[in-house]
Amino acid sequence: MQIMGDWAKGEFLKAGQKPGDDFVCFRMPGTQGMVTFNSDQFVMFDVGTSKAQDEMAKSIMAPTFQSAFNVVKGSVPARTDVPDTDFDACGKKGIKDLAEANQNNTLVGSMAHGHAAPAAVKNAVYDVVTNHFNGGMDSKEATKALVSAVKDAQF
């Protein structure tokens, strides 16, 4: 068993594998009902009002683009009103899970991508978790170190 993010799905599809037959999509055990979000970002330079930039933004946010982009990427649209028609079983599940988490207020920002905590807190957590998983401390020590590291990083 190997656990990967939705980014790995494109590799599986390219290798001719099929969702439900060769691989499955599921929430991490213990996280059912919650969705961690991260978002692709498109950057535009501040050049004043630009009709081209407005058109690009409208195009990117259009449901048809959101569907086409995410079907190929193997992810779920940022918009919750995009139909799941063109998505495979994994995409349909992801869209359903996102809608439920949005409705239940259980969307959680990705710490790894800066949506949940400041970089200092993220780095403090990573340092303790890495040390623990590499055998540098037991679970009890790691718990204490994590509390201390996060407190220290918040100042």
Tell me the whole-structure pTM to 2 decimals.
0.74
Give residue 112's pLDDT.
Answer: 85
Is the residue at 1 inside a domain? no
Same domain membership, residue 73 and residue 24: yes
Domain count, the chain: 2
| Amino acid at residue number 115 | H
Same domain membership, residue 146 and residue 86: no
Same domain membership, residue 103 and residue 50: yes
Give residue 41's pLDDT.
Answer: 80
Same domain membership, residue 74 and residue 19: yes
Cβ within 8 Å of residue 117, ≥6 positions away: 111, 125
Question: Range of 51's domain?
Answer: 6-109
- Report percent pLDDT > 70 for the chain: 95
Give residue 2's pLDDT.
Answer: 62
Same domain membership, residue 100 and residue 134: no
Q: Give the model confidence (pLDDT) of 13-64 as tens digits.
A: 889 998 888 988 888 888 888 988 887 788 888 887 789 899 999 999 999 9
Judge whether 37 and 109 are in contact, CB under 8 Å.
yes
Same domain membership, residue 79 and residue 54: yes
